[in-house]
Structure 1
């Protein structure tokens, strides 16, 4: 079992009740971290946290809707009141609309922006200042190669555009913090989840590997990068 660096004690994972988020919670818990499993749906979130707790991991559920600024602030306040310092933030909550550009409704586009971009914007504003103050922290933005603009048109439209924007956010936050806080994006690949579908080639375990690796980077680890299978890839 690998152990987290001594400075990384608590991880918060958004969209932690299923798929890559749930597996990231499991891996970080196995690495010895206390895990805050954050999810929008209280029943599903509590059930997922209970499952991991029964595996012997230290996991607690927090209700968090990343599309709601008040929900993010309330979650941050509850954790602060409990004396819980978030050392690693995994922005995993996401939506995957597949409509071609001219078929995308304004509502669908807005939802994609709210979850895939603004969700991470809100959580970074809520939790990263504490990391800067304490002199350590890790942020992992779960993005996608479909949002890369190198030799690639971001696609499907709403998804690709918002993941490209998430990659831009990653660079902006990385540039705004000292080197003791590492901020990176990850492309987990096409993963067998409710979102990816049962025919996807990558297992959830493989998809969550680079996510948890970035959350546990050593002090000399990279920042401001985009990674797949633990290797830096173009944006």
Structure 2
């Protein structure tokens, strides 16, 4: 008898997270749809169940130690292990307000608010640490767990400085961009620790995707964005760990 595989996707009531939950559900996973808002989380889970997938809303605010701990207890009470963790939840306070009429980011680092940066780091950096640590016992109980961190092209320092690429390929978004650079470093740190235990940890860059995060100005669809996320979440044995990828392959740090 085949044991049902379990996956958790944070921030999954909309955007890339919702599409990732849908794709994992289509692959036969029982999906825990992490969302902090009950109304939106339950509606998203119900919609996916209506498509025939085994999806359950999980109350989860990645910026709250108490919420993360309670969520881990909820999942542990219903399953012995977690096969996939997608740390998708992310924020970019003030990002949309700083976009000009042509869609270019117009807020220089000298005008970046520290309060906004702290809020960004609490979700984008400390959130994945909280969630990964809290769910680690369940991940270790899986024979071959996979962890995916939702990074961004903006997390690449090489792209920002134009190393080997000529001019910079990234807008100068200090708060959000640096949070994804930090997340890349966290990806490597967890990968180094967990590789001997058979857990693969990788960072995915979904590209500039049309979501609420950017006022839907992104050029890519959530279907395109979810491709690399799901690929890294379902890696076969012997696949990469501690890497940073888009759908075309490894990215420069």
CA change 1:7–1:161 in 2 (3 A) is: farther
Say if 2:108 is the partner of 1:100: yes
Listed one character per residue, the Cα deviations across residues 110-161 of structure 1 (whole Å, up to 9, x for unaligned) are 1011000000010111112432344421000000010111141574111011
Match of 1:167 among 184, 203, 226: 184
Partner in structure 2 of residue 3 of structure 1: none
Say if 2:54 is the partner of 1:36: no
CA change 1:49–1:161 in 2 (3 A) is: same
Say if 2:65 is the partner of 1:57: no
Listed one character per residue, the Cα deviations across residues 17-66 of structure 1 (whole Å, up to 9, x for unaligned) are 00000000000000010000000111000000000000000000001000
Say if 2:232 is the partner of 1:214: yes
CA change 1:149–1:55 in 2 (3 A) is: same
Superposed, 1:30-179 pairs within 5 Å as 30-97=26-93, 98=95, 99-153=107-161, 155-179=172-196
* Length-normalised TM-score, structure 1: 0.92
Q: What is the aligned length?
A: 230
Q: For structure 2, which runs of at least 5 residues remain unmatched after alignment? A: 96-106, 162-169
Quote the Cα distance in structure 1 between the aligned partners of 2:66 and 2:75.
14
CA change 1:168–1:7 in 2 (3 A) is: farther
Kept in 2: contact 1:149–1:164 (CA 8 A): yes
CA change 1:151–1:19 in 2 (3 A) is: closer
Mean CA deviation greater in 9-18 or 83-92: 83-92
Larger Rg belongs to: 2
Q: SS of the counterpart of 1:38?
A: strand
Listed one character per residue, the Cα deviations across residues 1-32 of structure 1 (whole Å, up to 9, x for unaligned) are xxxxx788111000000000000000000001
Kept in 2: contact 1:191–1:197 (CA 8 A): no
- Offset of 1:209 from its aligned partner? 0.8
The CA RMSD over aligned residues, in Å, is 1.7
Partner in structure 2 of residue 201 of structure 1: 219
Kept in 2: contact 1:226–1:233 (CA 8 A): yes
- Offset of 1:219 from its aligned partner? 1.1
* Length-normalised TM-score, structure 2: 0.86
- Offset of 1:81 from its aligned partner? 1.5
Quote the Cα distance in structure 2 between the aligned partners of 1:230 and 1:45.
32
Mean CA deviation greater in 133-142 or 10-19: 133-142
Quote the Cα distance in structure 2 between the aligned partners of 1:219 and 1:100.
44
